Amino acid sequence: MSVSAQPLSPWRVVFYKDSRGRSPIVEYLNALPVAEQAAAQEAFSLLREFGLSLGMPHVKHINGKLWELRPGANRFFYFAHVGRRFIILHAYRKQSQKTPPQELAFAERRLSEVLAGGIEDGR
């Protein structure tokens, strides 16, 4: 009996939802101009297609499990989760060279919530 390699299932991109079932990421995306929404969707498509091998200039490692997707002036913090899912945790508009500490704090708090199992992780 021979064993053949199974093709890996594609990556999924899912958006963080808070304890009330709201997705601040979807709200952020809906408020963007159409061209920026399209750029974000293209970046999500690249993330689905290339997964962990997607690199600069599209993504940047922030720290630990946290990464940043970089379409245009928008930034999306995310991490790779079980089940070949990328969870998009937080979004903001870049206005300076350095990541604002409060934006990073939002993403880190949401990452902790998802990992602790207390918040919807988009399954």
Mean pLDDT of 15-27: 92
Q: How far apart are CA 64 and CA 62, in angstroms?
A: 7
Spell out the domains of the chain, with CATH numbers in brackets. Answer: 12-116 (3.30.2310.20)
Residue 27 phi/psi, 5-degree rounding, is: -60, -45
Q: What is the pLDDT of residues 36-76, one digit of tens each?
A: 999 999 999 999 999 888 989 999 999 999 999 999 999 99
How do the residues of the chain divide into helix, strand and coil, expressed in percent and rounded to 5? 35, 25, 40
pLDDT in tens, 79-95: 999 888 999 999 999 98
pTM assigned to the model: 0.87
- Predicted pLDDT of residue 34: 96
Q: Is the pLDDT of residue 24 over 80?
A: yes
